[in-house]
């Protein structure tokens, strides 16, 4: 059965509602396995998933190279999204550069790694508040005029920044963390997106794995898994949050689906302008996530899920202090 589609933004393309986040194939979630990841990328296309989300900082180029190499023979079927703005300094620390010069240089580098002539959706990954958003978006508009990118996106910005950016050039999508566990976009960002005709691409839609019900303990995570550093996985917070997942699991069982599918179905039900991009490098999880497209929820069932996972009951910030400081500009 074909996946449900919707238009991305007021002037964007028609895409399947569910995409594939590729970050974990190269970084943050333990060891890489390029062959497993390649199988998953190709299986995604076979299932009707066409929206692939990467970034130049996922493995510092590795992910773009992997995605570009594996999907090269089927490029015409793909909607490729990548990002710029996060940089690795000489001292090994991560920084932010959203200058016009960096936008141009980073785009050229991403095009080379992906092996394509044009990037479908190009995001500013993080904004350096010392650089005006007008400067950055003007540079992105120049990239579009040059045929190097098709649509413009922003990630983890404030509603005010989105408005200022959109005044320079139409923004097609804003990428924000959004799930049953993270609902801050509902305060103002979602309304701003809808006013301006901007789609919301939801990353970490299953709470960095917590909402799948498969993370039984922090000790089960690989030694290099960055979730060990996240406040929601800290002692005390983790136990409280997994109790919420247990309640979600009970509701999902009543619905005849998995907790991950219930969480994704809830997100899809929040509006046709929401595009979740659950990430995985394994075919089994990919197939589970895609099947959420067929889960239809009544208003009563949506309330059941929200009662099982109240937004105010989740304990711990969604990311590390340093990462949180880079967001929202």
What confidence score (pLDDT) does residue 231 get?
86
Give me the domain span that covers residue 208: 13-325
**Which amino acids are annotated catalytic?**
58
- Distance, CA of 52 to CA of 71 (rounded, Å): 10
- Which pLDDT score, from 0 to 100, does residue 2 have? 87
Q: Would residue 2 count as lying in a domain?
A: no
- Whole-angstrom CA distances from 329 to 2, 84, 141, 291 are 38, 15, 20, 35
6 in any annotated domain: no
Q: Tell me, yes or no, whether 185 lies in a domain.
A: yes
Distance CA 104, CA 219 (A): 42
CA atoms of 34 and 222, how far apart (whole Å): 17
Evaluated on CA atoms 35, 32, 153, 184, the torsion sign reads positive
**pLDDT value, residue 163:** 98
In a domain, 25, yes or no: yes
Residue 310: inside a domain:
yes
pLDDT, one tens digit for every residue, the chain (329 residues):
689 999 999 989 999 999 999 999 998 888 899 999 999 999 999 999 999 999 999 999 999 999 999 999 999 999 999 999 999 888 878 899 999 999 999 999 999 999 999 999 999 999 999 999 999 999 999 999 999 999 999 999 999 999 999 999 999 999 999 999 999 999 999 999 999 999 999 999 999 999 999 998 888 888 888 898 888 989 899 999 999 999 999 999 999 999 999 999 999 999 999 999 999 999 999 999 999 999 999 999 999 999 999 989 999 899 888 888 889 99
254 in any annotated domain = yes
What CATH number does residue 83 fall under?
3.20.20.100
Q: Output the pLDDT for position 26.
A: 95
Count other C-beta atoms under 10 Å from residue 73's C-beta: 9
Q: Is residue 209 part of a domain?
A: yes
pLDDT of residue 117: 98
Total structural domains within the chain: 1
Token pair for residue 243?
């109790």
Q: Please report, for residues 44, 159, 171, 174, the alpha-carbon distance to residue 193 in angstroms, rounded to integers and kept in the order given.
A: 28, 8, 9, 8
Residue 1: what pLDDT?
Answer: 64
Contact 289, 265 (CB under 8 A): no
Helix ranges, the chain (H): 34-47, 62-71, 100-114, 133-145, 159-168, 189-196, 237-255, 259-268, 283-291, 299-308, 321-325
Distances (CA, A) of 296 to 19, 276, 292, 299, 308: 18, 16, 9, 10, 18
- Alpha-carbon span 44 to 67, nearest angstrom: 12
DSSP annotation string for 177-207: E-BTTB-GGGTTHHHHHHHHT-EEEEESTTG
Map residue 290 onto helix, strand or coil.
helix
Tally of residues, the chain: 329
CA-only gyration radius of the chain, Å: 19
* Residue 5 covered by a domain: no
Phi-psi region of 209 (alpha: psi -120 to 50; beta: other; left: phi over 0): left
Question: What strands lie across the sheet with 119-124, from one edge to the other?
Answer: 20-21, 51-53, 79-84, 119-124, 149-155, 173-177, 199-203, 274-276
In whole angstroms, how far apart are CA 93 and each of 90, 228, 259, 322? 7, 19, 36, 11
């Amino acid at each position: 059965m074909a996946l449900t589609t919707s238009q991305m933004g007021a002037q964007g393309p028609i895409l399947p509602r569910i995409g594939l986040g590729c970050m974990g194939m190269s970084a943050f979630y333990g060891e890489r396995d390029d062959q497993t990841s390649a199988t998953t990328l190709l299986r995604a296309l076979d299932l009707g998933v066409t929206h692939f989300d990467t970034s130049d900082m996922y493995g510092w180029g590795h992910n773009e190279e992997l995605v570009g190499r594996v999907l090269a023979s089927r490029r015409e079927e793909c909607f490729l999204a990548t990002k710029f703005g996060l940089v690795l300094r000489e001292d090994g620390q991560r920084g932010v550069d959203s200058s016009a010069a960096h936008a141009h240089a980073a785009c050229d580098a991403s095009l080379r790694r992906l092996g394509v002539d044009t990037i479908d959706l190009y995001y500013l990954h993080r904004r350096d508040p010392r650089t005006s958003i007008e400067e950055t978006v003007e540079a992105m508009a120049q990239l579009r005029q040059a045929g190097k990118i098709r649509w413009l996106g922003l990630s983890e910005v404030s509603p005010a920044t989105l408005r200022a950016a959109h005044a320079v050039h139409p923004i097609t999508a804003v990428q924000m963390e959004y799930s049953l566990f993270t609902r801050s976009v509902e305060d103002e960002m979602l309304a701003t997106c809808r006013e301006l005709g901007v789609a919301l691409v939801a990353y970490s839609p299953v709470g960095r794995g917590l909402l799948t019900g498969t993370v039984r303990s922090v000790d089960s995570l690989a030694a290099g898994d960055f979730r060990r550093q996240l406040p929601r996985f800290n002692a005390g917070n983790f136990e409280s949050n997994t109790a919420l997942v247990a309640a979600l699991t009970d509701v999902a069982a009543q619905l005849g689906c998995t907790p991950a599918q219930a969480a994704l179905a809830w997100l899809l039900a929040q509006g046709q302008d929401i595009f979740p991009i659950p990430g995985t490098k394994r075919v089994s999880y990919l197939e589970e996530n895609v099947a959420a497209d067929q889960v239809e929820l009544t208003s009563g069932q949506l309330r059941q899920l929200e009662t099982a996972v109240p937004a105010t009951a989740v304990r711990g910030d969604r990311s590390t202090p340093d990462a949180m400081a880079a967001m929202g500009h």
